[in-house]
Protein backbone atom coordinates (compact mmCIF):
# COMPACT_ATOMS: atom_id res chain seq x y z
CA UNK A 1 0.00 0.00 0.00
CA UNK A 2 1.38 3.38 -1.05
CA UNK A 3 1.14 5.96 1.77
CA UNK A 4 0.11 9.57 1.31
CA UNK A 5 3.21 11.73 0.74
CA UNK A 6 2.06 14.26 3.38
CA UNK A 7 -0.53 14.71 6.10
CA UNK A 8 -3.53 16.61 4.70
CA UNK A 9 -4.88 19.55 6.67
CA UNK A 10 -8.29 19.45 8.29
CA UNK A 11 -9.60 22.23 6.05
CA UNK A 12 -8.57 20.26 2.96
CA UNK A 13 -10.35 17.13 4.13
CA UNK A 14 -13.48 18.96 5.25
CA UNK A 15 -13.52 20.89 1.98
CA UNK A 16 -13.67 17.71 -0.09
CA UNK A 17 -16.32 16.19 2.15
CA UNK A 18 -18.60 19.24 2.07
CA UNK A 19 -18.20 19.80 -1.68
CA UNK A 20 -18.94 16.15 -2.50
CA UNK A 21 -22.09 16.09 -0.37
CA UNK A 22 -23.25 19.37 -1.92
CA UNK A 23 -22.82 17.94 -5.42
CA UNK A 24 -24.98 14.94 -4.56
CA UNK A 25 -27.59 17.25 -3.03
CA UNK A 26 -27.56 19.52 -6.09
CA UNK A 27 -28.35 16.63 -8.41
CA UNK A 28 -31.11 15.38 -6.14
CA UNK A 29 -32.68 18.85 -6.08
CA UNK A 30 -32.29 19.32 -9.84
CA UNK A 31 -33.98 15.98 -10.51
CA UNK A 32 -36.43 16.41 -7.63
CA UNK A 33 -35.69 12.87 -6.56
CA UNK A 34 -35.14 11.40 -3.12
CA UNK A 35 -33.96 8.26 -4.86
CA UNK A 36 -31.10 10.16 -6.47
CA UNK A 37 -30.09 11.60 -3.11
CA UNK A 38 -30.28 8.17 -1.49
CA UNK A 39 -28.26 6.49 -4.23
CA UNK A 40 -25.74 9.33 -4.09
CA UNK A 41 -25.29 8.95 -0.34
CA UNK A 42 -24.85 5.17 -0.73
CA UNK A 43 -22.20 5.82 -3.39
CA UNK A 44 -20.45 8.33 -1.12
CA UNK A 45 -20.39 5.81 1.73
CA UNK A 46 -19.27 2.93 -0.50
CA UNK A 47 -16.40 4.82 -2.13
CA UNK A 48 -15.49 6.45 1.17
CA UNK A 49 -15.16 3.06 2.87
CA UNK A 50 -13.05 1.67 0.03
CA UNK A 51 -10.83 4.75 0.14
CA UNK A 52 -10.44 4.48 3.90
CA UNK A 53 -9.58 0.77 3.71
CA UNK A 54 -6.42 1.30 1.68
CA UNK A 55 -7.50 -1.20 -0.98
CA UNK A 56 -7.24 1.35 -3.77
CA UNK A 57 -3.72 2.46 -2.87
CA UNK A 58 -2.15 -0.86 -3.88
CA UNK A 59 -0.48 -0.56 -7.28
CA UNK A 60 1.13 -3.97 -7.73
CA UNK A 61 -1.53 -5.18 -10.18
CA UNK A 62 -2.29 -4.34 -13.80
CA UNK A 63 -4.49 -2.44 -14.18
CA UNK A 64 -4.24 -0.72 -10.79
CA UNK A 65 -7.19 -1.27 -8.47
CA UNK A 66 -8.19 2.38 -8.64
CA UNK A 67 -8.86 2.01 -12.38
CA UNK A 68 -11.15 -0.93 -11.70
CA UNK A 69 -13.30 1.58 -9.83
CA UNK A 70 -12.87 4.60 -12.08
CA UNK A 71 -13.51 3.11 -15.53
CA UNK A 72 -16.87 1.57 -14.55
CA UNK A 73 -17.75 4.83 -12.76
CA UNK A 74 -17.14 6.88 -15.90
CA UNK A 75 -18.99 4.34 -18.06
CA UNK A 76 -22.04 4.40 -15.79
CA UNK A 77 -21.92 8.21 -15.76
CA UNK A 78 -22.12 8.29 -19.56
CA UNK A 79 -25.01 5.81 -19.54
CA UNK A 80 -26.86 7.89 -16.94
CA UNK A 81 -26.22 11.03 -18.95
CA UNK A 82 -27.86 9.39 -21.96
CA UNK A 83 -30.73 7.97 -19.90
CA UNK A 84 -34.02 9.54 -18.82
CA UNK A 85 -32.20 11.06 -15.82
CA UNK A 86 -29.89 12.83 -18.24
CA UNK A 87 -32.94 13.93 -20.21
CA UNK A 88 -34.46 15.46 -17.08
CA UNK A 89 -31.22 17.35 -16.47
CA UNK A 90 -31.23 18.65 -20.04
CA UNK A 91 -34.66 20.19 -19.41
CA UNK A 92 -33.09 22.67 -17.01
CA UNK A 93 -32.41 26.17 -18.37
CA UNK A 94 -29.24 26.28 -20.46
CA UNK A 95 -27.87 29.10 -18.32
CA UNK A 96 -28.05 26.86 -15.24
CA UNK A 97 -26.38 23.96 -17.03
CA UNK A 98 -23.52 26.22 -18.08
CA UNK A 99 -23.23 28.07 -14.78
CA UNK A 100 -23.30 24.79 -12.88
CA UNK A 101 -19.81 23.98 -14.14
CA UNK A 102 -18.51 26.82 -11.97
CA UNK A 103 -18.34 24.24 -9.17
CA UNK A 104 -15.00 23.31 -10.72
CA UNK A 105 -13.52 26.52 -9.27
CA UNK A 106 -13.70 25.34 -5.62
CA UNK A 107 -12.60 21.88 -6.78
CA UNK A 108 -9.48 23.36 -8.36
CA UNK A 109 -8.83 25.53 -5.30
CA UNK A 110 -8.86 22.38 -3.17
CA UNK A 111 -6.55 20.57 -5.60
CA UNK A 112 -4.18 23.55 -5.51
CA UNK A 113 -4.24 23.50 -1.71
CA UNK A 114 -3.53 19.76 -1.76
CA UNK A 115 -0.55 20.32 -4.05
CA UNK A 116 0.76 23.12 -1.82
CA UNK A 117 0.53 20.79 1.19
CA UNK A 118 2.43 18.10 -0.70
CA UNK A 119 -0.57 15.77 -0.71
CA UNK A 120 -1.28 15.97 -4.45
CA UNK A 121 1.37 15.90 -7.19
CA UNK A 122 2.00 19.40 -8.61
CA UNK A 123 1.09 18.41 -12.17
CA UNK A 124 -2.53 18.01 -11.05
CA UNK A 125 -2.90 21.64 -9.96
CA UNK A 126 -3.06 24.85 -11.97
CA UNK A 127 0.60 25.39 -11.12
CA UNK A 128 1.27 22.24 -13.14
CA UNK A 129 -0.54 21.16 -16.29
CA UNK A 130 -4.14 21.23 -15.07
CA UNK A 131 -6.08 24.02 -16.78
CA UNK A 132 -9.52 22.83 -15.70
CA UNK A 133 -10.01 25.93 -13.55
CA UNK A 134 -10.58 27.74 -16.85
CA UNK A 135 -13.71 25.63 -17.35
CA UNK A 136 -15.14 26.76 -14.04
CA UNK A 137 -14.11 30.39 -14.47
CA UNK A 138 -15.50 30.60 -18.00
CA UNK A 139 -18.77 28.98 -16.88
CA UNK A 140 -19.15 31.67 -14.24
CA UNK A 141 -18.45 34.41 -16.77
CA UNK A 142 -20.79 32.99 -19.42
CA UNK A 143 -23.67 32.29 -17.04
CA UNK A 144 -25.37 35.74 -17.26
CA UNK A 145 -24.99 35.93 -21.06
CA UNK A 146 -25.90 32.42 -22.21
CA UNK A 147 -29.09 33.53 -24.00
CA UNK A 148 -27.09 36.02 -26.08
CA UNK A 149 -24.50 33.48 -27.17
CA UNK A 150 -25.17 31.51 -30.39
CA UNK A 151 -25.65 27.77 -30.18
CA UNK A 152 -22.30 27.06 -31.82
CA UNK A 153 -20.57 29.21 -29.21
CA UNK A 154 -21.98 27.18 -26.31
CA UNK A 155 -21.18 23.95 -28.16
CA UNK A 156 -17.60 25.12 -28.62
CA UNK A 157 -17.29 26.09 -24.96
CA UNK A 158 -18.81 22.80 -23.81
CA UNK A 159 -16.45 20.80 -26.02
CA UNK A 160 -13.35 22.69 -24.89
CA UNK A 161 -14.34 22.36 -21.23
CA UNK A 162 -14.95 18.64 -21.72
CA UNK A 163 -11.52 18.32 -23.33
CA UNK A 164 -9.94 19.98 -20.30
CA UNK A 165 -11.74 17.47 -18.07
CA UNK A 166 -10.52 14.54 -20.17
CA UNK A 167 -7.02 16.02 -20.13
CA UNK A 168 -6.73 16.16 -16.35
CA UNK A 169 -8.18 12.67 -16.02
CA UNK A 170 -5.45 11.53 -18.40
CA UNK A 171 -2.83 13.37 -16.35
CA UNK A 172 -4.10 11.64 -13.21
CA UNK A 173 -4.04 8.18 -14.82
CA UNK A 174 -0.55 8.67 -16.27
CA UNK A 175 0.64 9.76 -12.82
CA UNK A 176 -0.42 6.54 -11.08
CA UNK A 177 2.64 4.47 -10.02
CA UNK A 178 1.88 1.73 -12.52
CA UNK A 179 3.33 0.06 -15.60
CA UNK A 180 2.05 2.88 -17.83
CA UNK A 181 3.17 5.78 -15.63
CA UNK A 182 4.56 8.70 -17.63
CA UNK A 183 4.37 11.56 -15.14
CA UNK A 184 5.97 12.17 -11.76
CA UNK A 185 5.51 12.60 -8.80
CA UNK A 186 3.14 9.72 -8.11
CA UNK A 187 -0.59 10.33 -7.95
CA UNK A 188 -1.57 8.46 -4.79
CA UNK A 189 -3.86 10.86 -2.98
CA UNK A 190 -7.05 10.16 -4.99
CA UNK A 191 -7.02 6.59 -3.68
CA UNK A 192 -7.57 7.81 -0.11
CA UNK A 193 -10.65 9.15 1.68
CA UNK A 194 -11.98 11.79 1.17
CA UNK A 195 -9.94 12.55 -1.94
CA UNK A 196 -11.29 9.45 -3.67
CA UNK A 197 -14.42 11.55 -4.16
CA UNK A 198 -12.55 13.72 -6.66
CA UNK A 199 -12.64 11.04 -9.40
CA UNK A 200 -15.79 9.28 -8.19
CA UNK A 201 -18.01 12.32 -7.48
CA UNK A 202 -16.58 15.57 -8.89
CA UNK A 203 -15.40 14.22 -12.26
CA UNK A 204 -18.67 12.33 -12.96
CA UNK A 205 -20.62 15.43 -11.89
CA UNK A 206 -18.75 17.53 -14.45
CA UNK A 207 -19.06 14.85 -17.14
CA UNK A 208 -22.80 14.36 -16.79
CA UNK A 209 -23.21 18.14 -16.84
CA UNK A 210 -21.46 18.31 -20.21
CA UNK A 211 -23.66 15.52 -21.57
CA UNK A 212 -26.74 17.44 -20.41
CA UNK A 213 -25.57 20.54 -22.30
CA UNK A 214 -25.10 18.51 -25.48
CA UNK A 215 -28.56 16.99 -25.10
CA UNK A 216 -30.03 20.43 -24.48
CA UNK A 217 -28.45 21.98 -27.54
CA UNK A 218 -29.10 19.06 -29.85
CA UNK A 219 -32.77 18.77 -28.92
CA UNK A 220 -34.70 20.97 -31.37
CA UNK A 221 -37.97 20.70 -29.46
CA UNK A 222 -36.33 21.75 -26.21
CA UNK A 223 -34.52 24.59 -27.97
CA UNK A 224 -37.85 25.96 -29.16
CA UNK A 225 -39.23 25.77 -25.61
CA UNK A 226 -36.12 27.53 -24.29
CA UNK A 227 -36.42 30.33 -26.84
CA UNK A 228 -40.06 30.99 -25.91
CA UNK A 229 -38.97 31.72 -22.36
Please spell the DSSP secondary structure of 198-223, one letter per residue. IIIIIHHHHHHHHHHHHHHHH-HHHH
Q: What is the reported pTM?
A: 0.93
Q: Report the domain count for the chain.
A: 1
pLDDT in tens, 154-163: 999 999 999 9
| 98, part of any domain | yes
pLDDT at 219: 83
| 3, part of any domain | no
pLDDT in tens, 14-34: 999 999 999 999 999 998 889
| 187, part of any domain | yes
| 145, part of any domain | yes
53-63 mean pLDDT: 91
Using an 8 Å Cβ cutoff, are 2 and 57 in contact? yes
| 219, part of any domain | yes
| 156, part of any domain | yes
| 2, part of any domain | no
pLDDT in tens, 168-227: 999 999 999 999 899 999 999 999 999 999 999 999 999 999 999 999 999 855 555 555
Domain containing 64 equals 10-228
pLDDT in tens, 115-135: 999 999 999 999 999 999 999
More confident residue, 32 or 141: 141
Helices (H) and strands (E) in the chain, counts: 11, 0
CA dihedral defined by 74, 77, 78, 84, rounded to 10 degrees? 170
Amino acid sequence: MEPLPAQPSLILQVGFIVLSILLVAMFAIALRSRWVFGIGIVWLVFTGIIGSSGLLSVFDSTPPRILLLLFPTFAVTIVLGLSKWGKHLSLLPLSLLVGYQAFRIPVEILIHLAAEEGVAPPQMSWDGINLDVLSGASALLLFPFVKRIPKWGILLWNTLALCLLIWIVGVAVLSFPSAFQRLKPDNIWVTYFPFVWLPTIAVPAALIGHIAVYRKLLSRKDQQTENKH
